[in-house]
Amino acid sequence: MSKENLDKINERLNAEFPGGVLAAELLYDFPVFTIDHTKSHAIIQFLKEDPELDFHFLTDLTAMQTADEKQLGVIYHLHNMKKNMRVRVKTFFDINKPEVDSITNLWPSANWMERESYDFFGVRFKGHPNMVRILNVDEMDIFPLRKEYPLEDQTREDKDDKMFGR
């Protein structure tokens, strides 16, 4: 995708949602928009339903945690197959209030992706029809992909850290 397409989409979004786009950049020929999480549903709906943009296919949705561990985020990958254009839309929010609007009303396929993001990161999608764990046990009281949980079992005695350069 070209810089002109990035600029065109950015202009359309800024005209429709003043202050809603926090950043727009072209990374490896891939347009990336960082948006205000309070406007995320409306912006994504606009990207889908606007006849000129027509990002009608949700390729992926996932959660992430920022390096400073203070914020969580959701990343959406949208695709306009007719024009072969893709965009990445990111939104961030405080880890202490990990809520963003569900897009299951726009794409029913977002259901399981949102549940997975809840299950592993604790992101609650407001308006989701069944916001429960999907892969981990229901009794689990942590969100295992957050950075505050170690990747390795710290209680193991059968590991020799010298083998791993530590």
What global pTM score does this model have?
0.88
Average pLDDT of the chain? Answer: 92
Taking the C-alpha atoms of residue 48 and residue 147, their distance in angstroms, rounded to an integer, is 33
Asked if the model's pLDDT at residue 151 lies above 70, the reply is: no
Contact 99, 122 (CB under 8 A): no
Domains of the chain with CATH codes: 3-150 (3.30.460.80)
Residues with Cβ < 8 Å from 82, sequence gap 6 or more? Answer: 54
At residue 2 the predicted structure's pLDDT band, cuts being 50, 70 and 90, is: confident
> Does 73 have pLDDT greater than 80?
yes
Mean pLDDT for 146-152 is: 75
Residue 166 reports pLDDT greater than 60: no
To the nearest 10°, report the CA torsion of 149, 134, 114, 121: -10
3-state SS of the chain is CCHHHHHHHHHHHHHHCCCCEEEEEEECCEEEEEEEHHHHHHHHHHHHHCCCCCCCEEEEEEEEECCCCCEEEEEEEEEECCCCEEEEEEEEEECCCCEEECCCCCCCCHHHHHHHHHHHHCCEEECCCCCCCCCCCCCCCCCCCCCCCCCCCCCCCCCCHHHHCC
Give the pLDDT of residue 164.
Answer: 62
